[in-house]
């Protein structure tokens, strides 16, 4: 099974940022309200994710690192998934290419437990001290697969990818607190947004990440067509934040990347913003789960829309309408 898991790891865990995504999604699935990430040497030396979620007992810990042992079975088919994870692949994959330790205490349980996996070899659960919730530690990522280790970039680069991944997840979950440090410095500090109104909580969270001035430089979008709803904010054409990295897209609550949407945003702004500048936008699309495939690839956050042209059209109109309403 170690080899099978290492092959799966190649798909699921490409770099520290993808491990961070998998572990933080597990914390979110476990109902965490506070998630703390530590990355040492860009995550290659250590990735640690601690949450205050449901936690696991000793038997669940042992199961969690088994291949295809997911506790999150979909209701009917893979398209209708309630949770972020469902393949039961992330932990065994990580355990096959790194030194993995899970420490957890189930809610209401008197005692915590810890279990380690090294290069695919699974240990036994042993009692451990921890408050309720789970800590997953990944040490020496890719030590067991030197060929993959070579593909890691400088620690600074890996760190910035991991921060970007965490910030995108944080935008999708404003009621959860997210924290990240490199072991000495706090690099992400996002306290849970208390606003009861989802739109307000989202805007506050976006501003906490993009910049406080986003509040005064963005106009709301809210448009619906043929069962597809688009909400979010369009940055004013006069507002930009340097490089092109400030376009955020969420489909049914998940951060995704999509070329079609990048093109639609460019199209919507082309007449109102000079070409050397990049608009700041955050778009939240809600549509029927069978109108979109968000699991094209286990790790890459790509999507495939069934009605791609209609989605593109909705985004262009939504952005143009919002900007025109603001006099642009
Ligand atoms: P998946 O998320 O697809 O189920 P994973 O390999 O990521 O697969 O996780 C395996 C199982 O381990 C999960 O289904 C869950 O039961 C358990 N688990 C993992 N991380 C956590 C966590 N932070 N809190 C509680 N349970 C967890
Ligand atoms: Mg998972």
Asked, for residue 197, whether it belongs to a domain, the answer is: no
Pairing label, strands 177-181, 34-40: parallel
Taking CA atoms only, the protein residue closest to ligand 1 atom 11 is: 64
The pLDDT score that the predictor gives to residue 221 is 97
Residues 182 and 223 grouped into a single domain: no
Domain boundary residue among 129, 158, 190?
190
Greater confidence (70 vs 48) lies with 48
DSSP H or E segment with residue 214: none
Residue the block writes with tokens 């990355």: 39
Domain boundary residue among 133, 156, 190?
190
Residues 240 and 317 grouped into a single domain: yes
Q: What percent of the chain has pLDDT over 70?
A: 90
The per-residue pLDDT for range 242-251, each reduced to its tens digit, is: 766 689 999 9
Distance between CA 179 and CA 320 in Å, rounded? 35
Residues 165 and 250 grouped into a single domain: no
Taking CA atoms only, the protein residue closest to ligand 1 atom 21 is: 26
pLDDT band at 79 (very low <50, low <70, confident <90, very high): very low
Distance between CA 32 and CA 134 in Å, rounded? 9
Q: Distance, CA 284 to ligand 2 centroid (Å)?
A: 23
Residues 54 and 132 grouped into a single domain: yes
The per-residue pLDDT for range 228-277, each reduced to its tens digit, is: 999 999 999 999 887 666 899 999 999 998 888 889 999 999 999 988 88
Average pLDDT value for residue range 44-68? 94
Structural domain containing residue 286: 213-325
What's the CATH code of the domain at 275? 3.30.230.10
What's the CATH code of the domain at 6? 3.30.565.10
Complex prediction ipTM: 0.99
| 88 CB near ligand 1 (under 6 Å) | yes
**How much is the pTM?**
0.93
Asked, for residue 156, whether it belongs to a domain, the answer is: yes
| 48 CB near ligand 1 (under 6 Å) | no
Asked, for residue 201, whether it belongs to a domain, the answer is: no
Residues 149 and 181 grouped into a single domain: yes
Residue of 85, 94, 104, 133 to mutate, ligand 1, most atoms within 8 A of C-beta: 85
Asked, for residue 304, whether it belongs to a domain, the answer is: yes
46 to each of 71, 141, 144, 309, how far by Cα in Å?
A: 26, 8, 15, 43
Mean pLDDT (the chain) is 90
The per-residue pLDDT for range 287-308, each reduced to its tens digit, is: 998 898 876 666 667 788 999 9
Residues 159 and 227 grouped into a single domain: no
Residues 225 and 178 grouped into a single domain: no
Distance between CA 83 and CA 26 in Å, rounded? 9
């Amino acid at each position: 099974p170690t080899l099978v898991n290492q092959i799966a790891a190649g798909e699921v865990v490409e770099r520290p940022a993808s491990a961070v995504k998998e572990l933080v999604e597990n914390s979110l699935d476990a109902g965490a309200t506070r998630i703390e990430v530590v990355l040492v040497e860009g995550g290659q030396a250590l990735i640690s994710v601690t949450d205050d979620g449901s936690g696991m007992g000793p038997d669940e810990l042992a199961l969690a690192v088994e291949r295809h042992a997911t506790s999150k079975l979909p209701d009917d088919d893979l398209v209708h998934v309630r949770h972020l994870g469902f393949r039961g692949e992330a932990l065994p994959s990580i355990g096959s290419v790194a030194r993995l330790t899970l420490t957890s205490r189930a809610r209401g349980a008197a005692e915590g437990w810890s279990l380690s996996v090294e290069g695919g070899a699974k240990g036994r659960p042993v009692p451990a001290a921890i408050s309720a919730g789970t800590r997953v530690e990944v040490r020496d990522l890719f030590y067991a697969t030197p060929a993959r280790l070579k593909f890691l970039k400088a620690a600074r680069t890996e760190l910035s990818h991991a921060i970007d991944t965490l910030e995108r997840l944080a935008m999708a979950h404003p009621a959860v607190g997210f924290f990240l440090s490199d072991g000495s410095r706090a690099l992400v500090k996002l306290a849970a947004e208390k606003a009861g109104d989802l739109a307000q909580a989202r805007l506050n969270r976006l501003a906490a990440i993009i910049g406080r001035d986003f509040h005064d430089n963005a106009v709301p979008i809210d448009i619906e067509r043929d069962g597809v709803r688009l909400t979010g904010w369009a940055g004013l054409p006069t507002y930009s934040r340097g490089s092109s990295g400030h376009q955020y897209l969420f489909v049914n609550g998940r951060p995704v990347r999509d070329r079609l949407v990048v093109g639609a945003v460019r199209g919507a702004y082309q007449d109102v913003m000079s070409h050397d500048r990049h608009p700041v936008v955050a778009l939240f699309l809600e549509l029927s789960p069978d109108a979109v495939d968000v699991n094209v690839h286990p790790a890459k956050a790509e999507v495939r829309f069934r009605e791609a042209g209609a989605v593109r059209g909705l985004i262009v109109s939504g952005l143009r309408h919002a900007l025109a309403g603001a006099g642009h």
